[in-house]
Amino acid sequence: MKTKPDLSLSTLININFGFFGVQIAYALQSANISRIFATLGADPHNLSYFWILPPLMGMVVQPLVGYFSDKTWTRLGRRIPYLLVGAAVAVLVMCMLPNSGSFGLTVAAAMTFGLISLMFLDTSINMAMQPFKMMVGDMVNEKQKTKAFSIQSFLCNAGSLVGYLFPIIFTWIGIKNIAPAGEVPDSVKWAFYVGAAILIGCVVYTIAKVKEYPPAQMAEFSEAAKEENKKIAVETGKTDKNYGLKVFFQVGLVQFFCWAAFMYMWTYTNGTIADTVWQSPDPASKGYQDAGDWVGVVFAVQAIGSMAWALVLPMFKSNKLAYALSLVIGGIGFIMVPYCTNQYALFVPYFLIGFAWAAMLAMPFTFVTNAFEGNPRMGTYLGLFNCTICLPQIVAAALGGVTLKAVNSVQGNMLILAGVFLVIGAACVFIISEKRKAAKGA
């Protein structure tokens, strides 16, 4: 019975390459949303509420993409059509969002326009992002899954590096980093424009290079995986029919603490370093906008840390140890941030935070796709698994204002709380079940 073959390194890269462009868009959103809405006039205690919309759209969009793409077979494949549509919409919206304050609208109208743009941007990014995870699940065998998702993590963070640095790079080359009150600086606008162009180019490259397996071949792989799972069950004496769902929820518990932590990083890094390094809490001040540019720099350092750690992750013999250690190191980084009063000292904690991010991008999907190997509805399960990413962000964002008040309205304290969350998540890693062959890394 036919099993999935080992794929060449170049094929694994091609499958994931478009993720580089998608992540540029995601990085621009992550690093600049708080800055954009603060510039439009949002109160710091309300900033977290603007972050509810992106994960909410992810909870809706990604399960639908998974469900319908499981049933879609076209000349382009079954995942790629959704990738193409998502990327095309993302490009259009990336040109609209940073202009929310440029149309002479009232503050309320500008924020409404920005929220609608953000909704479409996150919908399209989610639609473009999910097919990459599904293609790895469809096309890569269990032996190469960790390597494939580590490559995806590497390219993801390379894209993040570019997206995070764009605003400050454009400032360095002379594009204005200040604007009239209520308007987003040109440096941010051009970052979004160029990011959009790179996004569509990377996606077109993946579409041109990757040919998904046809239905008949996928059916053969599915049957082979089922036979292998039966063999393992006989050899180990374990016949857990709910194994896939068990792993789904076990990994989901870890995800809850991880993604709540990163939601607070995205929301409160700008305000934290504006306070601790620039002493400029006023969003209209030059210091606050300079801090906004530096957010891109420290997030880029995080991406470098993630890229480096993504190369190390496949070397671990234990996936659980790799996952837990990465989260603990990232948690230490978060706790260090509020104590760094020099902008360059921030490089150390954000480099460490990158270790956690690399693991979060690779390890959960390794566990879950291995658990559902051979299941014809893998895309649906991966889409639903995205809820373990989105739900904690929604909860963290909804409670962000209340939590900020509880920690004396000091935004840096929110990053310390994020560090505690990652350590709790690391402890939860050890409850995850693994199949015998996955545990051995065979």
CB 33 within 8 A of CB 266: yes
CB-based burial label for 315 (10 Å; 0-12, 13-18, 19+)? exposed
Closest CA to 152 of 326, 357, 426: 357
Question: Tens digit of pLDDT for each residue in 178-237?
Answer: 777 778 888 989 999 999 999 999 999 999 999 998 888 888 877 776 676 666 555 554
**pLDDT at 273 exceeding the cut of 70:** yes
In this predicted structure, what is the pLDDT of residue 343?
95
Name which of 170-179, 345-354, 415-424 the model is least confident about: 170-179
Joined tokens for residue 65: 């993409």
Place of tokens 């969002």: 97
Cα atoms in the Cβ-side hemisphere of radius 13 Å centred on 371: 24
- Domain range for 402 is 9-440
**pLDDT at 317 exceeding the cut of 80:** yes
User: What CA–CA distance (Å, rounded) separates 318 from 367?
Assistant: 12
- Which of the pair, 179 or 135, is modelled with greater confidence? 135
CB 18 within 8 A of CB 206: yes
- Whether 2 is in a domain gets the answer no
Name which of 230-234, 250-254, 415-419 the model is least confident about: 230-234
**pLDDT at 442 exceeding the cut of 50:** no
Confidence of residue 107 (pLDDT cuts 50, 70, 90): confident
Question: Tens digit of pLDDT for each residue in 48-68?
Answer: 777 777 777 778 888 888 888
Joined tokens for residue 121: 């941007």
- Which of the pair, 236 or 387, is modelled with greater confidence? 387
CATH number at residue 387: 1.20.1250.20
Joined tokens for residue 382: 């991966």
Joined tokens for residue 20: 């580089």
Closest CA to 167 of 136, 193, 148: 193
- Which of the pair, 197 or 310, is modelled with greater confidence? 197
Confidence of residue 438 (pLDDT cuts 50, 70, 90): very low
Q: What is the domain count for the chain?
A: 1
Confidence of residue 439 (pLDDT cuts 50, 70, 90): very low
User: What CA–CA distance (Å, rounded) separates 136 from 23?
Assistant: 17
Residue type for position 281: P
- Whether 4 is in a domain gets the answer no
User: What CA–CA distance (Å, rounded) separates 375 from 221?
Assistant: 10
CB 317 within 8 A of CB 441: yes
Closest CA to 102 of 113, 91, 94: 113
283 phi and psi angles, rounded to 5 deg: -60, -20
Q: Average pLDDT, stretch 347-366?
A: 93
Joined tokens for residue 394: 């929604």
Phi-psi region of 409 (alpha: psi -120 to 50; beta: other; left: phi over 0): left
Joined tokens for residue 217: 């071949």
User: What CA–CA distance (Å, rounded) separates 90 from 121?
Assistant: 5
In this predicted structure, what is the pLDDT of residue 440?
40
Place of tokens 């979060």: 360
User: What CA–CA distance (Å, rounded) separates 324 from 330?
Assistant: 10
In this predicted structure, what is the pLDDT of residue 242?
78
Place of tokens 């305000």: 271
Kindly report the number of other CB atoms within 10 A of residue 231's CB atom. 11
Joined tokens for residue 405: 């008040």
Confidence of residue 285 (pLDDT cuts 50, 70, 90): confident
Kindly report the number of other CB atoms within 10 A of residue 398's CB atom. 14
In this predicted structure, what is the pLDDT of residue 240?
56
Cα atoms in the Cβ-side hemisphere of radius 13 Å centred on 318: 11
Q: Average pLDDT, stretch 392-410?
A: 90
- Which residues, at least 6 apart from 44, have a Cβ–Cβ distance to it below 8 Å? 38, 271, 281, 404, 409, 411
